[in-house]
Amino acid sequence: MDFGTFTQASVVKKGFTLPAPMLTSTDVTRILQSEEVRRVLKPKKLQTKKSSRYTSPTNGIKNRRLRLRLNPFSKKATQNAKSARNVANRDSRRKAKAVRLAKVKKSISKQKK
């Protein structure tokens, strides 16, 4: 069985020649380090700064810092809600509201007369 050589065609297979090797010299490291190759190559890039693995929060309902950034009034709203839950504050607010309502009712009744 003669499949030919790199230059002669095969006797068994019509029009077949052995594939010629791409490299004549197999010492690849010597070729890559040669001056001819280094002259053609682009200069070595500087190492880029590694990006941070930190991702900013996206759920404003769970994350307080993000919620305050999105809606600054939410801080005041939570303070008001806390003070509303306080029993001593609640009683004083109710009394103050009753006084305000009494004043308004007086002024309305004076205007009707």
The CA–CA distances, whole Å, from 91 to 80, 97, 98, 99 equal 15, 10, 11, 13
pLDDT in tens, 57-69: 999 899 999 999 9
Whether the pLDDT of residue 19 is over 90: the answer is no
pLDDT in tens, 32-58: 899 999 999 988 888 888 888 889 999
Whether the pLDDT of residue 2 is over 70: the answer is yes
The SS3 assignment for 113 reads coil
Between 24 and 58, where is the model more confident?
Answer: 58
Kindly report the length of the chain.
Answer: 113
The CA–CA distances, whole Å, from 21 to 6, 8, 33 equal 9, 15, 21
Structure tokens at 66: 């993000």
Alpha helices by DSSP H, the chain: 28-32, 35-40, 64-70, 73-85, 87-112
